[in-house]
Amino acid sequence: MNPTDEQTAAADAFHTGNHLALQAGAGTGKTTTLTLLARTTPRRGRYLAYNRAIAQDARSRFPNTVQCKTAHALAYAAVGHRYTHRLNAPRRPAWQTGQALGVTKPIRIGDRELSQRALSNALLRTVTRYCHTADDKITRHHVPKLRGLEDTDLHRELATHLLPFARRAWNDLQNPDDGAVRFDHDHYLKMWALTQPRIDTDFLLLDEAQDTNPVVEQVFLNQRSHAQLVMVGDSAQAIYHWRGAKDVMTGFDGTQLTLSKSFRFGPELAEEANRWLHLADAPIRLTGAETVPTELGFVVQPDAVLCRTNVGAMTQVMTLMDAGCHVGLTGGGDSLRALAQAARDLKEGRRTHHPELILFPTWGELQDYAAHDPAGRDLQPFVDLVDTHGPDAILTAVTRLIPEPQAQVTVSTAHKAKGREWSRVKIADDFTPTRDASTPPDQGHTAPRPVDDHEARLAYVAVTRTRRRLDLGGLLPGPDA
């Protein structure tokens, strides 16, 4: 392929030696562009991939002057290899780890009793959240906010109790030979970042920059004094803030360029994508490929159904199975199984260890929280689903899932669909429709009501997964939207 004008501009900017941020919209060939940059210079480079599969694919595409690895791979070579013995340790329940660290009894905060198991889960999540940040020490804001304890004063009380144990856990992890806490890959990544490592390279390419954890961002930006930094990604696809990811692109100090021509879909779908980009206040707009005949309209037999939530995915799986379809689920059924098992425990009078539901002693308390507490409204669809079908029917549906390659239709959340594409896609009805979202803002129609940025970005990711035909489904504006 001949490079587009935008790709040529990116190559020219790269050759000046300036730091570069490349906003690359859905399907615009960002990896192709990065390989173009690498193949037009004799300098040595490093490519930081988002995950191992992307790194492996990149090795077959980049010249041998560029090393393609994940940040975890670099951290393992520098630090993690010393902890190999602990990395291979067997799993153990969180309550046993908490007990070994001194968490031996329940406490009461507000009107909630936190069991030793709940406290142990929370302290281990605190350490994990710390590992995703650029912070030097574990502090209160690393302590997760638990369902039912969202109030600031209650969270402060929880943090005061947990922080000594979380710091003890981090100290435990420093021993390369043995310890109470199960050692995992994010632990040695954080340890490596704390050493302020220098990556020996002439230029450093960061892929999927919009979803970079602060710990990786810190390492990347610290190379500025000796290496040319090039980050590529799509700020409008920054949908992982809830797990600590951060869009580092929009505020990056460097030349800002874009890739806006999508090779995945045609102009009609690009127009739909641009409506959501407008609502997300994104710094890019797309043009579609004239040679790709993508259509918007009803889809009878989709290749994929994309949902906003795990609960929405669970509903779609059961509906499609009832219709006789062979259904696959992106990422497998573990998350759905865990939710259904948690519901069964609560309905049978047992407390659950699911982190989202751990503070609720009964199903009735969860029903009341979902119905009446503003912080619990997002759980209402889950409660309705369980009350309608029962947890056993949901668990049975999970066991009937088949591998994606053999499935007639794949169900996925929009989060897990990122980076994927299908020929025919349908949007599930658990997305929130928006009045006039189907009308471009420049045609004199009533402007859409304000949309949460995250919701608009999630919709943008969902609508750009298709190549041939898209059924907007739940994103179609309703009369009362």
Q: Which strands, in side-by-side order, build the sheet including 409-413?
A: 295-296, 466-471, 422-427, 304-307, 409-413, 327-329
Q: Which pLDDT value is given to residue 91?
A: 77
Q: Which pLDDT value is given to residue 434?
A: 63
What whole-number distance in Å separates Cα of residue 458 and Cα of residue 280? Answer: 9
What's the mean pLDDT in 301-317?
92
Cβ atoms within 10 A of the Cβ of 435, count?
Answer: 16
171 or 30: which leads in pLDDT: 171
Intra-chain end-to-end CA distance of the chain, in Å? 44
What whole-number distance in Å separates Cα of residue 61 and Cα of residue 402? Answer: 32
Provide the Cα torsion 456, 459, 461, 463; round to 10°: -140
Whether residue 271 contacts residue 447, with contact meaning beta carbons closer than 8 Å, is answered with no
Whether residue 34 contacts residue 209, with contact meaning beta carbons closer than 8 Å, is answered with no
In this predicted structure, which of 3-12, 195-204, 355-364 has the lowest mean pLDDT?
Answer: 355-364
How sure is the predictor about 449, in pLDDT bands with cuts at 50, 70 and 90?
low
Question: Average pLDDT, whole number, for the chain?
Answer: 89
Distance (Å) of CA 23 to CA 66, 274, 277, 441 = 21, 15, 13, 22
Whether residue 412 contacts residue 401, with contact meaning beta carbons closer than 8 Å, is answered with no
Q: What percent of the chain has pLDDT over 90?
A: 63
Q: Which pLDDT value is given to residue 331?
A: 85
Whether residue 107 contacts residue 84, with contact meaning beta carbons closer than 8 Å, is answered with no
Q: What is the pTM of this model?
A: 0.82
Q: Which pLDDT value is given to residue 243?
A: 57
* pLDDT surpasses 90 at 265: yes
What's the mean pLDDT in 333-345?
90
- For the chain, how big is the Rg over CA atoms in Å? 24
b/e string for 231-242 if b means 16 or more Cβ within 10 A? bbbbbbbbbbee
Whether residue 10 contacts residue 259, with contact meaning beta carbons closer than 8 Å, is answered with yes
Question: What values do phi and psi take at 197, rounded to 5?
Answer: -70, 150
DSSP state of 475: G
How sure is the predictor about 433, in pLDDT bands with cuts at 50, 70 and 90?
low
Selection from 438, 432, 462, 472 nearest residue 299 by Cα:
472
Whether residue 407 contacts residue 283, with contact meaning beta carbons closer than 8 Å, is answered with no
Q: Which pLDDT value is given to residue 412?
A: 95
Q: Which pLDDT value is given to residue 442?
A: 47
Distance (Å) of CA 48 to CA 114, 122, 230, 251 = 41, 31, 10, 20
Half-sphere exposure of 153 (CA within 13 A, CB side): 3
What tens digit of pLDDT does each residue of 38-96 get? 999 999 999 998 888 889 999 999 999 999 999 999 999 999 999 999 998 887 888 89
User: How is 166-201 classified by DSSP, letter by letter?
Assistant: HHHHHHHHT-SS--SSPP-HHHHHHHHHHT------
| Burial class of residue 116 (count of CB atoms within 10 Å of its CB; 0-12, 13-18, 19+) | middle
